Each structure stands twice: as structure tokens, then as C-alpha cells.
Structure 1
């Protein structure tokens, strides 16, 4: 008879088969047998299942096993078994009821992590309460087990991640009973961040006040979480007060602190204050990040002050505080869109000279802007600089610029660009050759054109003899036309 597929919530078996007595369910520290759910199977099927489990246990878990033996069994055997993997908590409880066995922090940690990762939070709550009643043997001396706080911290994080804050706070209070001294500030931050994430700003602030009352010093992450929460709740003035409180408590703000406030200033349309905050950041020795520049330059541009944003970028570059990999594509695109291509070129070359190499997208946008205005020589110069820097353009932009150069009668420069591109790894395609052959034909340079046609033939870009004849006749006819003139 085939077993029925177990439901997704993985119910637990009513009892565990073993030759040894099983006092786990009568132990005062363990739940009673009646509290365990049963499988929705017939009694014959349940008996068969328990028999299989009994054989599996006897094969891999010998009598008088140690916590390390149990951990090895859970990790290497039970965890990977397709039918029994969900019975790990039952095995844990069975072991806890044996007189010769006592769990330690290794089995506690494995079970806490397993239950949390698989979202079995009711079982996790039982396990944490069990740990409180049955501490690790490391705690038998005058000090508590050093792994207790990390174990509870993982459980608290898991509860916060799914919004089970009542369970998280219970776990936090239980942890405080077991550890030596005060909890680590990271545990408070975890809870505060969880409250903020789920929109519980009041509870987050209450926990912060409790933290101060407990004489646990907040760190920069604590303040950043609360500053961000104030900004999200449109209470920017209180966010600034929290920023000041951070300084009073001797906690140095980091780049996240400044980014949050700069963004808040822009939300409040306080542009000068946002710019001032960036300069305060520089004065305090806090490095600008790419995110800082994106917030600042984007915010200034949205207010229609793109030229001022250019001045800021150049000033940051001259002060050597602009991040090396900052992509200033947005400001180039905005300037080109406003028809201010000249200023866009000035910004790009100014930053480029200082080591801030533009991205391919920024270069492409500027080349297209120059082409639209007929400034082909400047577009050619920019692409030449790109290739020398190892920035390879896309084939469409590359071919369009070559065509513009051919139309403008700059075949020498166009072919030089082709050779440079080829040396940098950008192979010419059939369209590239066709454009250049057409350009040579218009200038009456039959010999150069025929040389390119031969290259096209060698590389397989000429599909048939008719195409070859058309190209060669075009070169000959244009040469004759120019001679007659």
C-alpha cells in the first residue's frame, strides 16, 4: 500500500518507536503526549510508518548517544531523508527525555536554525522555552554559555523577518534571563529595524528608549534606522533631532546617515540644506558614495538646476572626493536633452582628466547629441578617446558615426577609426565595410575602396558575385564621374 503524500505543514507522529523507554512526553519540561498532532492516515499505515522510522533510528543512532552523535545524525542522515526530515523536532524531544542524555548548544543551534529556516515558528517557540528550562551544560558554572546569545539572536531575526514581534520580544526577554550582562546592541537594532520595516514606528522608538534605560549604548546603525523611520513618516524635523542626538552621544554618522538626511532635505524641497549636508559630510571626512552623488545630483537636476549640478560634480572632482566609479550618465543625458551638449562635453572631459572614466552609456549619449548637432569632428574625437581607453561602442553608434564622417568627406579619419577599433577588439561587420566603400567611392578613391572590397570578400561579407560586381562598378563609376568634373 502506497503512503499518502504528507501535507505541506508536515504534521508530527504521535509517538516514536524505540526499544528504550520514552519518557520525553512525561517530562515536566516537555509537552504532553496529547499535545502532539497525529498523521491523517489509517492506523495500519501509521504503524508501518513508525516501524520504518524505528528501523531508521536503530540503524543510525546507537544507544547512549552523545549530543555530537545526535547532531551528526540530524545533519547527515535525518536532514536528507525524504520521508523523515520533518521529524527532527520529535527526535530532539525524544532525546531530551532520556536520563542519559542532555542537549548542548550545538544541538540547540542546529534545531533553532532549522526550525527558523523552514518557518516552523510554533516549534521554534517551544524550543526556545525548552532552552530556558534546560540550559546548555556550559552554563553549569558561574558563566552562561557563550553561544546562547547568538542562538537567540538568529531566532529573533527570523521572527522579525516575518513580523512575529510578540514572539520576538518573548525570545528577547528569555535571552536576557540566560546571558551574562546586557544584550548586544545588534539584538536591539534587529528588533528596532523589524518594527520600522512593518511600519511600527512607535514601538521602534519605545524599544530605543528601553535600550537607553537598560544602559546599552546605541550605535550608528540604531540611529540610522530611526532617522530613516522618521523620514518615512514625514517627521523630518525629528530626524534632524535624532541626527543631533547621535553626535551628542559621541556616535559618528556614516555615509548612510548623510544619504538619508540628504534625501529627506530634497523631499522637503530644501535644496541648499541638502547641498550643505554633502559638504558637511566632506568636512567630517566621510567619503561620498555613488548613492550620495546619485541622490544629490539627481535631486538638484529635478529642480531644473542641471548647470549647478555640473558645478557640484566638477568641484567634488577637484577636491578628489568624487567616487572613481560614479556613473554621471544622468547629468550628461539631461544636458544633451536640454541641448546643452557643449557643457556636457566640458563636464565629461573635466571628470575624465581627473580619473573618473565615463561609462559606455554616457559616451554614447554624448556622441548621439553631437551627431544631432552636426559636430562630427568632436564626436569622432570622443569615440577615438573611448577606444584608446578600452571603451568599445556598440555597432550601431559606431557605424552611424562612420557614415556621418563619410558624408562629411573625412574618409582618412573614418578608416583610421576602423583600424583603431579593430586593434581594440571591435571587429568591423558587413555594414561597416559597405559604409566605407561607399565613402571611398564618393571621394573617387578607387584603389582604397577595392582594397576594402577584397577584405569583405576574404571575410565572407559578400554573399554572391552580383554584390561584388555592384561594389566594384560603384567605385569605377564614381571615379569616372569625378574625372569628368
Structure 2
């Protein structure tokens, strides 16, 4: 279009292309296009041009760049609108900067720019995630005062805030308000409340909400099932969890990786290891895309059950499955080896970690140090303590307790006391 000159692009053309760049994650190209507009006579960037890029930058948490562009827009005499401010508020909220978000809200109000329900929802959600439910309620009051009615997203955020604080009676009250207002309750509303009840180990109440969903013409989704299955597993009701897992598939809701992780963890923690291994084998046979989280759960379960050989075989076969072990995998394996007296192999695994691109962290060092101490290898444990401190890690409470116990028995070098002081 530019080269031919027969059909000159206008601001709509540029804005459309700019949005395309932003949607594809190419903010740089979008900004360059903004500069290109200035070269075209009669095609000045407008509020849509700037707001499109500001929104994209905020979504990518490039807040400084977004504010720089915002300042440039103001300097050009372009007045920001509710979309511009909502994008900035969303951006700072993603970084947990709720004070900055409040300042932006006050600023837009002072300029006569009225926030919409999306703007308020961003603030409510941020306050609730920060545990500041009273502040979230205050924002909702401002909404209502400005004749902006809270929607399902608003109430879901508030309910989630109460659930995070363990205030389930208040969370249920919000849920009941939503029901009283008609069709405001959605599947996510039920999942949030179910998760709150499960977290508080109130499984009967969680199940009650689950059973009420068909009456509300709501179909439980994968998240709903996974949440309830996890809750059942955590209180030891593994048979009910397995039945719900089967029911889920019978209803056409396919389990995702998170669902499988939940049921595998429940099986391993409730002494159903053979069933867990069978399920893993079935998952592999179905060629599901399994990540390291799934294998970590089973490897840890095998180690805890004393099946160290099986755990070792599964660990060693990960690469052939196209899955790379991470720090947790190595640490779990090191713990299992130490627990069963294979301390030489455990240290060898520690030394191999760096070469595999997953250097040991503080948890890894504390795990192997405790393993050495429990296997009466105090001199080697002392050497590892020194190495751990040199790498910037410190002894945790469990390791400290073992070290203090050794010092009280005079079974280790008194020089360890200096190391102990350094790690506090």
C-alpha cells in the first residue's frame, strides 16, 4: 500500500496491524509502526494506537515501558480513556503494586474518567489475592455508589478472597448472594467454594455444592473434579476419590495433567502404590504428555515405600522418555538413597547435578547433610555443611536440630560450631 501509493493507509489500517503485532507478542514491531505513522501525512496516532500498545506491554509486565508510552501520549495532548487506565491498573496489579493501582484509580476519577466494571474487577481481584478483603469490599461499595453493578467476576474474586483467609461462612454468604441475584453463579464460582471447603477439610460441604450443580444447570468441569478429588485424597478418602475420577471420565470430562498429579499423589500417600504405578503405566501407554511433576510424585512414593530399586529404575529411565529430571527429582532420589543407606550413590548424584543443568539448592544440601548425619558420616556431613554455606545456602530447622544434637554429644569437630553460627 505504501509503495504503490494508490490506496493510502489510514489510522484504522495502522491500528489494525499494530493490534496484530501485539497479539503475536511483538511489542517492538508495534512501537516501530507507531513511529511509522508519524511519517504519513494526515495519519497521526490516536488514543487507540497508544492504548493498544500500552495494554500489550502491561500484559507482558513491561510496566516501565508502558508508563513511558503513557507519558508520551499525554505530552502529545492525547487524553487517556478508561481502557488506557484499566490496562495500567491491570499491569501494576500483576506485580502486586496495589498502592500504585489505587493511585491510578484516584487519578482517573480526578480527570473525570469513570472506571467500568473491568477496572473495578482488577482492583477487587488484586486486593483479595493480597488478603485485603475489607479493601476489596470498599472497592465494591464504590462500584455500587457509581451505579456499576458487580458481576460474576467481582463476586468470584471476593469469594476467593474469603476462601484464601479460611473464612468459609463469609464465602458461602457471597455465594448465596450470587444465587439470589439470578444466574450469576457459574462453574468457577462452585469450584472456588469447593476448593475453599476442601482446603478447610470440610469435604461434606464441598460435596454438597458439587451435588447442587446440576440443579443450577451447571456441569462440573475438569477443575471442579480435580479440586474435589484432591480434597478427598488429602483426608484419606481415597476410594471415593477413585470413584469420582472414574465418574469424571464417564461424564466426558477428560483428566488433565493436574488431575493425574492429584490422583497419583493421593494414591501414593494413602498406601496405594501399586495402583499408582499401574495408572502411570496406563498413562504412558496412552501416550499422554507427562511432565516431570508426574514422575516426581511416583518416584517419591516409591522411595517412601522402600521400593528404592524401582525408584532408581524410573529415575534412570526418565531421559529415554524425553523427560528431564529437575532439582526436586534429584533431591527426592538423594533422600531415598540416604534413607536406605546408599550414601555413596547419593553423593555421586549430588555431584552429577551441576553437569545436568540443575544445580543443587538449599533443600538438596540439607537433605543429603541430614542423610549423612543419620548414617553416622559426620565428617562428610561437616564438609558438605561448609560447601553449602560457601554456596550461600543455610541450614534449615531440621538440620540445625541434628547438628546441635551432635555438638551436645561431643561427637563432631568443635569447629562445626563456627559453621553453625554462620548459618544462623
Q: TM-score, normalised by structure 1?
A: 0.44
Q: TM-score, normalised by structure 2?
A: 0.49
